[in-house]
């Protein structure tokens, strides 16, 4: 809770007035179901204990004044000047939320807002959605939009945040991150069906089964990431077109082999194999989780990593090394998570072995000459909301 108190204190010392309140939203890590969201598929994220906090005060005009503990420059922009690419930088993620709310007919206004966060930025743990969703919760409450009380309202807010990120921040994002931040439940993974936006809450408390979920932030940064994301999306759309379906979700796993024979391009074939098999692996994981068949879940994680490495080609040497090392040191299963080309990996490890496995990864990175990774164990935490 201390960051919550800190951000309120920072607000007061900057503005000489107290904030109307403090809101927060979590980062997320996806258990399984990668690059499935834009294929109308399934994914299974959990909300992280790490959160982004905002202290905010409503203004009577339409000016937005924004500060963040994670950004050097404050932002000062009129709401009516917010547009694709403007104000640019981190201010687009915040002001885009207000812009996107007005796009769907919710009148809002100016704000003074201070951000502080414990979600690692750019680690594939979705600091961007944590920021958007914390802001969306604040704005919804401050302007009395009646969108935070039930899952329908929260789903609408998540969609607003996706639009803010796509249109104003001009970053491609498929919808999983914002759903995880807005709609998760503590102690549960969120089974999100991206075809219709429906969710199910699947109990996920590894510690009750003698396990821990370890996140390894590889801190690997690779260029060309955006181009790669667009290329993968385009391949999936091409496959769907050639197969005569609206999305790859419409290809059942049992018909995958037959579908592959109808695709000429070997790369498009491999991309399709990943997406269709990954959606099936999400379903298998949910089954394994409901019965707590841990060994099975581990095998599914491993198969998912191989599929992303070999067929979707979104892994990188750091992610592969993190996954292989975790497994060699007792992880039941491990896989890269998030968009790829860097970011984080997850490993299900025996409870109590988190540091041993984490240190083994640190050592392996040192031997390989990679940047020192960070690691931490996480629980499935709660969604965006008001803290004070």
Q: Tell me the C-alpha distance between 332 and 7, whole Å.
A: 39
Which of 11, 38, 93, 99 forms a contact with ligand ADP (CB under 6 A)?
93
DSSP state for residue 142 in the 8-state scheme: H
Q: Which two tokens stand for residue 167?
A: 């249109």
Range in contact with ligand ADP (rule: CB under 6 A) among 18-26, 43-51, 125-133, 270-278: 125-133
- Specify whether 217 is catalytic: no
What is the token pair recorded at 172? 């491609």
Piece in contact with ligand ADP (CB under 6 A), picked from 40-48, 63-71, 72-80, 150-158: 63-71
Give min distance, CB of 339 to ligand ADP, in A: 8
**In sequence order, what are the residues at sequence separation of 6 or more whose Cβ sits closer than 8 angstroms to the Cβ of residue 248?**
39, 40, 41, 236, 239, 240, 272, 275, 276, 279
User: Checking phi first, is residue 126 left (phi over 0); if not, alpha (psi -120 to 50) or beta?
Assistant: left
Structure tokens at 373: 């990774």
Q: Is 117 in the site for ligand ADP (CB under 6 A)?
A: yes
Query: Binders of ligand ADP among 273-292, rule CB under 6 A?
Result: none
Q: Is 71 in the site for ligand ADP (CB under 6 A)?
A: yes
DSSP 3-state of 150: coil
Q: Is 341 left (phi over 0), alpha (psi -120 to 50) or beta?
A: left
Please tell me which residue in 141, 177, 217, 387 is annotated as part of the active site. Answer: 177
CB of 93 to ligand ADP, least distance (A): 5
Near ligand ADP by CB under 6 A: residue from 101, 131, 181, 360: 131
**Quick one: which of 33, 41, 124, 175 contacts ligand ADP (CB under 6 A)?**
124
Q: Which does 117 bind (CB under 5 to 8 A by kind): ligand ADP, Mg ion, none?
A: ligand ADP
What are the structure tokens assigned to 144, written together? 């009395």
Classified as helix, coil or strand, 208 is: helix
Residue 115 binds: one of ligand ADP, Mg ion, none (C-beta under 5 to 8 A by kind): ligand ADP
Closer to ligand ADP by CB, 206 or 342: give it: 342
Touching ligand ADP, residues 172-201 (CB under 6 A) = none
Order of strands across the sheet that contains 63-68: 75-78, 63-68, 111-117, 45-58, 21-30, 385-386
Q: Is residue 50 near ligand ADP by the rule CB under 6 A? A: no
When binding is defined by CB under 6 A, the residue of 36, 39, 50, 68 that contacts ligand ADP is 68
CB proximity list for 69: less than 8 A, separation 6 or greater: 7, 10, 114, 115, 116, 117
The only residue of 122, 172, 203, 317 in contact with ligand ADP, by rule CB under 6 A: 122
Beta strands in the chain (DSSP E): 21-30, 42-43, 45-58, 63-68, 75-78, 111-117, 188-193, 198-203, 211-221, 333-337, 342-350, 374-378, 385-386
By beta-carbon proximity to Mg ion, the closer residue of 64 and 162 is 162
Smaller CB distance to ligand ADP: residue 47 or 297? 47
Phi-psi region of 240 (alpha: psi -120 to 50; beta: other; left: phi over 0): alpha
178 part of the interface to Mg ion, by CB under 5 A: no
Determine the interface stretch with ligand ADP among 39-47, 124-132, 279-287, 368-376 (rule: CB under 6 A).
Answer: 124-132
Which tokens hold the place of 168?
């104003």
Q: Provide, rounded to whole angstroms, the least separation between the CB of residue 161 and Mg ion.
A: 11
Does residue 337 interact with Mg ion by CB under 5 A? no
29 binds, among ligand ADP, Mg ion, none (CB under 5 to 8 A by kind): none
Buried b (16+ CB within 10 A) or exposed e, 109-144: bbbbbbbbbbbbbebbbbbbbbbbbbbbbbbbbbbe
Q: How far is the CB of 371 from ligand ADP (least distance, A)?
A: 17
Nearer to ligand ADP, 37 or 353 (CB): 37
Which residue of 24, 95, 128, 381 would you call a contact of Mg ion, by CB under 5 A?
128
Tally Cβ neighbours within 10 Å of residue 371: 12
Shortest Å distance, C-beta 143 to Mg ion:
25
Catalytic residues: 177
Binding site for ligand ADP (CB under 6 A): 52, 68, 70-71, 89-90, 93, 115, 117, 121-128, 131, 171
Binding site for Mg ion (CB under 5 A): 126, 128
């Amino acid at each position: 809770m201390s960051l919550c108190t800190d951000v309120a204190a920072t607000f007061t010392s900057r503005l000489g007035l107290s904030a109307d309140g403090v809101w927060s939203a979590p980062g997320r890590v996806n258990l399984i179901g990668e690059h499935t969201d834009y294929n109308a598929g399934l994914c299974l994220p959990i909300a992280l204990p790490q959160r982004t906090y905002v202290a905010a005060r409503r203004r009577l005009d339409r000016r937005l004044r924004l500060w963040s503990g994670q950004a050097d420059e404050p932002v000062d922009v009129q709401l009516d000047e917010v547009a694709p690419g403007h104000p640019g930088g981190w201010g687009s993620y915040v002001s885009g939320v207000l812009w996107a709310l007005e796009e769907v007919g919710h009148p809002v206004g100016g704000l003074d807002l201070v951000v502080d966060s414990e979600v690692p930025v750019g680690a594939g743990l979705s600091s961007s959605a944590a920021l958007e969703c914390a802001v969306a919760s604040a704005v919804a409450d401050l302007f009395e939009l009646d969108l935070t009380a039930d899952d329908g309202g929260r789903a609408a807010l998540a969609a607003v945040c996706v639009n803010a990120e796509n249109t104003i921040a001009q970053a491609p994002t498929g919808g999983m991150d914002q759903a995880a931040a807005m709609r998760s439940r503590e102690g549960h993974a969120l089974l999100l069906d991206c075809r219709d936006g429906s969710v199910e809450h699947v109990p996920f408390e590894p510690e009750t089964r003698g396990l821990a979920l370890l996140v390894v932030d590889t801190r690997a940064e690779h260029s060309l990431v955006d181009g790669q994301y667009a290329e993968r999306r385009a391949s999936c759309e091409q496959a769907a077109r050639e197969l005569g379906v609206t999305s790859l979700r419409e290809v059942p796993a049992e018909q995958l082999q037959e579908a592959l024979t109808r695709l000429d391009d070997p790369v498009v074939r491999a991309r399709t194999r990943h997406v269709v098999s990954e959606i099936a692996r999400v379903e298998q994981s949910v089954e394994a989780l409901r019965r707590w068949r841990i060994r099975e879940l581990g095998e599914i994680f491993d198969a998912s990593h191989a599929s992303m490495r070999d067929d979707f080609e979104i892994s990188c040497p750091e992610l592969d090394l993190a996954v292989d090392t975790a497994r060699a040191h007792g992880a039941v299963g491990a896989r890269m998570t998030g968009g790829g080309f860097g970011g984080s990996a997850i490993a299900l490890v025996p409870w109590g072995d988190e540091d041993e496995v984490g240190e083994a990864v640190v050592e392996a990175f040192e031997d390989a000459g990679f940047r020192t990774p960070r690691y931490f164990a996480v629980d499935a935490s709660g969604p965006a909301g008001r803290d004070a």
